[in-house]
């Protein structure tokens, strides 16, 4: 079966208009309803990047499905589209200066704009060095890019690689472990991975009965009790 990149599918759909039949892979047949896979913030190129990035950090394996299948890219999209992404609870007034590492985040960009600029810059780097977009790189090339990003070594136009990676890495972990009401941690698979029981937490007796013993329960999230 021909592996059609998601971006191509969406581009094709856009190019020929709504209502045209889209090739459906077996994976797509099991995909969640369209609304849950629809992005609010990322554009098509950004979707290709973020899904590849999330799946590189959280690959499909014996332990969990891929980051995208767990809803992590959707989680990040929703965060960036919402108040946090737009800079809520951040001091964004100038003047601006780079400062020292100890002074922390000093960009004039709220998270959504940092993502936008950084993805563009990473893609420009990938195009210049590898002649392909990030999602089409070989796994080893992708690892090289992510590693360099994480160490602040990737030369990016306009934005510091480290600030972007630190934010994106934290967001991936949030998307894996935050309550499923935010769009990630699908089927509580992040919680199942580690054995976190979720929101039922009256342990006044358990702390004695299960001291030192496994506590195997099916985790429950906020929506299960609402």
Partner 1 sequence: MTTKLKEVDVVIVGMGWTGGIMAKELSDAGLTVVGLERGAPRSDAGFSVPMIRDELRYAVRNELFMDVSRDTLTFRNKPAERALPMRRLGSFLPGEGVGGAGVHWNGQTYRLSPHDHALRSRVEGRYGKSFIPQDMQLADWPMSYAELEPYYDKFEYVAGISGKAGNIAGRIQEGGNPFEGPRAREYPNPPLKPSLASEMFTETTNKLGYHPFPRPAANMSRPYTNPDGIQLGECQYCGFCENFGCEANAKASPHITVIPAALRNKNFSLKPYAWVTRVNLAPDGKRATGVSYTSVLTGEEFEQPASLVILCAYGFGNVHLMLLSGIGKPYDPVSDTGTVGKGYCYQVATVVQAFFDDRNFNPFMGAGSLGVVIDDFNGDNFDHGPVGYIGGASIYSASLGGRPINQRAVPPGTPRWGTEWKKATARWYNHTLQMSVQGSNMASRYNYLDLDPTYRNAFGLPLMRMTYNFTDNDEKLSAHLTTVAHDIARAMGPTHLGPKTPRRAPYSIVPYQSTHNTGGAIAGHDPGKSALNRYLQSWDVPNVFVMGANAFPHNSGYNPTGAVGALTYWAADAIRTKYLKDPGPLLHT
Which residues make up the interface to partner 1 (CB under 8 A)?
56-59, 61, 63-64, 84, 87-93, 95, 97, 99-106, 146, 150, 169, 172-174, 177-179, 181-182, 190-191, 193-199, 201-204, 206-208, 210-215, 220-222, 224-226
Choice between 26 and 103, CB closer to partner 1:
103
Choice between 49 and 191, CB closer to partner 1:
191
Nearest distance in Å: CB 101, partner 1: 7
Both tokens of 169, joined, read 């890495």
Nearest distance in Å: CB 152, partner 1: 14
Nearest distance in Å: CB 73, partner 1: 15
Both tokens of 30, joined, read 């099991």
Taken in order 96, 97, 101, 103, the sign of the CA dihedral is: negative
Both tokens of 146, joined, read 């992510």
Q: Are 126 and 133 in contact (CB under 8 A)?
A: yes
Q: How far apart are CA 14 and CA 52, in angstroms?
A: 21
Nearest distance in Å: CB 198, partner 1: 7
Choice between 20 and 217, CB closer to partner 1:
217
Q: Are 113 and 75 in contact (CB under 8 A)?
A: no
φ and ψ of 104, to 5 deg: 80, -165
């Amino acid at each position: 079966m021909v592996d059609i990149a998601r971006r191509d599918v969406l581009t094709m759909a856009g190019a020929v208009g709504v209502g045209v039949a889209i090739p459906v892979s077996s994976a797509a047949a099991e995909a969640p309803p369209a609304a849950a896979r629809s992005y609010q913030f990322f554009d098509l190129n950004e979707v290709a990047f973020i899904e590849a990035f999330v799946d590189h950090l959280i690959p499909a394996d014996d332990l969990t499905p891929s980051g995208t299948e767990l809803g992590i890219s959707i989680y990040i999209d929703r965060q960036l589209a919402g108040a946090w992404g737009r800079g809520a609870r951040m001091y964004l007034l100038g003047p601006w200066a780079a400062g020292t590492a100890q002074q922390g985040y000093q960009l004039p960009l709220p998270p959504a704009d940092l993502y936008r600029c950084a993805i563009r810059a990473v893609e420009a780097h990938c195009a210049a060095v590898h002649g392909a977009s990030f999602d089409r790189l070989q796994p080893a090339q992708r690892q090289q890019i992510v590693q360099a990003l994480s160490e602040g070594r990737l030369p990016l136009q306009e934005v510091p690689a480290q600030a972007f990676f630190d934010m994106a890495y934290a967001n991936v972990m949030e998307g894996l472990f935050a309550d499923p009401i935010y769009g990630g941690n699908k089927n509580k698979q992040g919680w199942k991975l580690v054995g976190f029981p979720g929101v039922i937490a009256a342990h006044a007796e358990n702390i004695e009965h299960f001291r030192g013993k496994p506590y195997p329960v099916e985790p429950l999230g906020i929506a299960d009790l609402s």
